[in-house]
Structure 1
């Protein structure tokens, strides 16, 4: 049950009884401290100010009308105008009992939406680097969470596969006559070498630059030989990327690839349509769309070019076709973009044009989920000692080595295969959790020592908490199917753990709504710490009373299930031995 949503509905109903205008909303939050109850109604002071009444008086009126006798043993009014709600342990136990008898940990069903999530988007002809990490794992966690809730998720890995860089690389390959043995000679390292040398040549050699641009035209016009080389470049890059996704436990596959080339045939019709609708005009040979909110320093309208005078298209044109396709063909209700923060203005321009042209249905939610940078200890962009951008393969290899050393130092009794598997699970979990546990809007400092620590808010701490509970359940030697289903909550730590179990749904609803996995990380960490306190204060295996023992075992089972499910939503694996 979503207690927060339940209370919001109850309070909105109470507002009607209290003759508070319907435009005002109840602000229900989990209480920060236990002395303020389990939940707190905030925002009454702001409402009182609008209604020109005293906040304490209004809070008292609301509290007296609030019908929560079935679930709360106390409703407390705190000055200047807060309402604190203390839930009945018996009611909390009833909700836990319901969870035990349902699937999906009691998560309520949703009205399914079609949600498109655009994330990762690595560069072609290059290895993925650390700059792709945040988009990839935050986007994947959001996709997992929304899918778990029951929405129809369309994952999209949008790649730039149609631009100038391909003309440069193909021109270089042709010039160096690599084309004779192209399928044997090209790998990702070669492609990076080709790109670097081709870019240098493109910037200095006008003849080479012209040849490269001509190859782009040939590519887009379907030249068989050029398309063959282009496809090889794409295939080699995607194979390399898929290795990274597999290591990172990311759900993207090649089936989710949608390159710029996929929208190429739509673009001429869009250009014609925008002209017919008087949204696009010709200026100095280029096709331009002027937007009311886009102005230069002098306050004059600026135009967004959608077709150059030589007939070529820009990223804006492709992204316009892309959002049109997602709205009209894929029937999206919500489109979420996890791309570089520098693309925000560009996206807004695309959305503005699309909305003016009627390409996006009015109900569609367009969302840009920004994310900060990964920094080193000096708060500079995280790079190698030589100043180069860190490749993801290098980062993951380093994490694996450090995890292996950690396991070796702990002198765990396991064979080489199991040791390597554990090192993989720990290292990938640590890297992902370190990122996902930070607010995506902020930068964060990459610190190997912190992320691989078994203390504090880290993946190893939560993974270990799961294995600890698994061990408790194994040592109990109880048949889970034979456990008494009725939960009894008498001890303070039992109540606190049960209440926090109930807050799982509230947590993932917030994550799904805002795309902020750090809320889930905070929840899992606190759940693990609360369980630790519960285990210390509430004997499980040694207690003779069967009802109490079974009740505490059920709480332990639920905690383990939520830790496992929560980590899964983050794309982090668990292990039963650690």
Structure 2
């Protein structure tokens, strides 16, 4: 029995239909984990909602529901508590079977396109890119795990006025962009920005250079291409340090849609969706107004004839539906872009580029804060390079492991340090801001990445020792008995892994998986204290070893879904 919760929910629905009529079988039983051990394993408020609809006393309805509920093969007799809650307690054999036969997923035959990371060419990745990359990777992992066909898209900022500025500045300074690293390109951008703002003649040359870039001038395109290549090579190094699954093949920058932008405008105009306003072509969508009550436009083509990022995003939506055949599109972009994506999705639907059968979701996230509670900045007020933070995290982890013997400290420090940063980012609700505090992140206690990684390493050591005692490495057997409350609690949590992962796939909230894994690790600690493993005997020992092996698998799989490695030793 690998899917206990869905089966029990279905049995409750069947009982409601049998007791009160077929229409009542459609009510969600809202089966939830019991709030206290004395209430069993699961609770349902179905009887209370049925009583409200039927106009009958809740406990009377609960009694009738329990009377026809067929769960003897899975649970102890159901109990009625309080005003009419139905409490269910799984049989030990049911729990053991659920641990031994974990639920698996099959293909859903649906494609999800996930847009995330989105760094800008000629600029070093900074802490602002951390969240999009870490959250996006975790969501891709989870969506793939539950059976979706996942397509990763890195919508790199590689087009626009800044490249005209930089190319003109490099020509004036007789620089070849291929001779510059990413730091040099960023400094070139900063110089060109100041020049552009201070010199109208230079600004005019830069705008003309953008026209040459967009029209395919060979010399201009060659300079731009070198900037892109240098940047992508640096991004690859950051992704490797983060152990991100993003590859060069996933990069589809703004430039990829350049040739489509005139057609975007033409098609929206033909559909009657664009209006000229002060020389610009805009869409005024119903329901979008500013604080002054005036309509908020989506500027598709600017008054100078250029295209803004709204046009690019519209082209991207159309490409992802028509060419990539997306059933679901997910954008992992900070919460400040919420209105923009609402408008883009609305306009794409009005143009029939985003059909009703395809969902589009903006996964917004909060800001990374410094210890002062303000957006994380350097002492000079600039943005903090992502590599600087990651290197410091690895250094802190190395100090933590300094007195540990029998491990590859350098490799383990990287796994623990990077994992600590990822977990800190993912463990709080993504919509909230969070403080970047390395001391807290690398702590071995509390709800941290290292705490979970250590739990996995400790289990690995225990299982290795169990095999060594028999002078062989054996495959753990089956969980056959759950006699102690701590065993039962741990087993119950393990049966919920698949349900939690499915919730994350639906809600796109990875902190739910973090909370679950922390609960598992905490229950494991209690289990260690109350249920000796290696010193127990016979079937009890074998069953507890099997329970440890199942827990190790859940921790390893769960950490993997979060984009973290699970070290065998720490």
- After superposition, the Cα gap between the structure-2 partners of 1:442 and 1:46, relative to the gap in structure 1 and judged at 3 Å, is farther
Q: Distance in 1 between matches of 2:234 and 2:284?
A: 41
- 1:123 aligned residue (83, 102, 120): 120
The one of 517, 532, 537 aligned to 1:544: 537
Is 2:323 the counterpart of 1:329?
A: yes
Q: Equivalents in 2 of 1:23, 1:489: separation in Å?
A: 35
SS in 2 for 1:324: helix
1:19-73: CA deviation from partner (whole Å, max 9, x where unpaired): 3546632212112221221111136545544544443333333333322111110
Q: In structure 1, the residue corresponding to 2:77 is in which secondary structure?
A: strand
State the distance in 1 between where 2:110 and 2:258 align. 28
TM superposition shift of 1:453: 1.1
Contact kept, 8 Å, 2:47 with 2:65, in 1: the verdict is no
RMSD: 1.9
SS in 2 for 1:40: strand
Structure 1 residue aligned with 2:302? 308
What are the residue-to-residue correspondences of 1:300-449 with 2, within 5 Å?
Answer: 300-408=294-402, 411-413=403-405, 418-449=408-439
| 2:137 matches 1:144 | no
Gaps of 5+ in 1: 100-105
Which one of 270, 277, 287 corresponds to residue 293 of structure 1? 287
Specify which of 82, 86, 91 is matched with residue 83 of structure 1. 86
> What's the offset of the Cα at 1:108?
3.3
Task: Report SS of the residue matched to 2:78.
Answer: strand
Q: Which moved more, 1:503-512 or 1:198-207?
A: 198-207
Match of 1:275? 269
Pair 1:2–1:167, CA change in 2 (3 A):
farther
Given that 2:3 and 2:98 are in contact with CA atoms closer than 8 Å, whether structure 1 keeps it comes out as no
Residue pairs, 1:457-496, within 5 angstroms: 457-476=447-466, 477=468, 478=470, 479=472, 481=474, 483-485=476-478, 487-496=480-489
* Residue matched to 1:25: 28
Residues 29 and 42, structure 1, Cα contact 8 Å, conserved in 2? no
Shift, 1:260, TM fit = 1.1
Confirm or deny: 8 A CA contact 2:40 2:87 kept in the other structure: yes
Q: Number of aligned pairs? A: 564
CA distance in structure 2 between the partners assigned to 1:194 and 1:368 by the alignment: 33
Contact 1:294 1:301 in 2 (8 A): yes
> What is the 5 A alignment of 1:477-556?
477=468, 478=470, 479=472, 481=474, 483-485=476-478, 487-545=480-538, 547-556=539-548
Residue number in structure 2 paired with 1:57: 60
Gaps of 5+ in 2: none
Task: Indicate if the aligned counterparts of 2:268 and 2:274 stay in contact, CA closer than 8 A.
Answer: yes
The alignment partner of 1:290 has SS state of strand
Residue by residue over 1:73-118, the C-alpha shift from the partner in whole angstroms, topping out at 9 and shown as x without a partner, is 032222223221111111111222334xxxxxx3232423201111
Displacement of 1:143 in angstroms is 0.5
Measured after TM superposition, the shift of residue 312 of structure 1 is 1.0
Question: Match of 1:74, SS?
Answer: coil
Structure 1 residues 443 and 46: alpha-carbon distance in aligned structure 2, compared to 1, 3 A threshold: farther
Q: Secondary structure at the match of 2:88?
A: strand
Bigger drift between 260-269 and 244-253 goes to: 260-269
Looking at structure 2, the residues matched to 74 and 347 of structure 1 have their Cα atoms a distance apart, in angstroms, of 51
Deviation at 1:176, TM superposition (A): 1.2
Give the whole-Å Cα distance in 2 for the aligned partners of 1:450 and 1:298: 44
Indicate if the aligned counterparts of 2:115 and 2:152 stay in contact, CA closer than 8 A.
Answer: yes
Shift in alpha-carbon separation, 1:482–1:334, aligned structure 2, 3 A? closer
Contact 1:114 / 1:331 at 8 angstroms: preserved in 2? Answer: yes
Q: TM-score, normalised by structure 2?
A: 0.94
Deviations 1:281-322 (A, max 9, x none): 333432222211123455444432211233211111110111
1:482 is displaced (CA, Å) by 5.7
SS of corresponding position for 1:72:
coil
- The match for 2:196 among 199, 202, 208 is 202
CA distance in 1, matches of 2:207, 2:213: 10
Which has the higher mean CA deviation after the structures are superposed, 17-26 or 565-574? 17-26
TM-score, normalising length from structure 1?
0.93
Q: How many Å apart are 1:470 and its aligned residue?
A: 1.1
User: How far has the Cα of 1:335 moved from its partner?
Assistant: 0.7
Q: Which has the larger displacement, 165-174 or 38-47? A: 38-47
Shift of 1:486: 5.6
Q: Distance in 1 between matches of 2:92 and 2:210?
A: 69
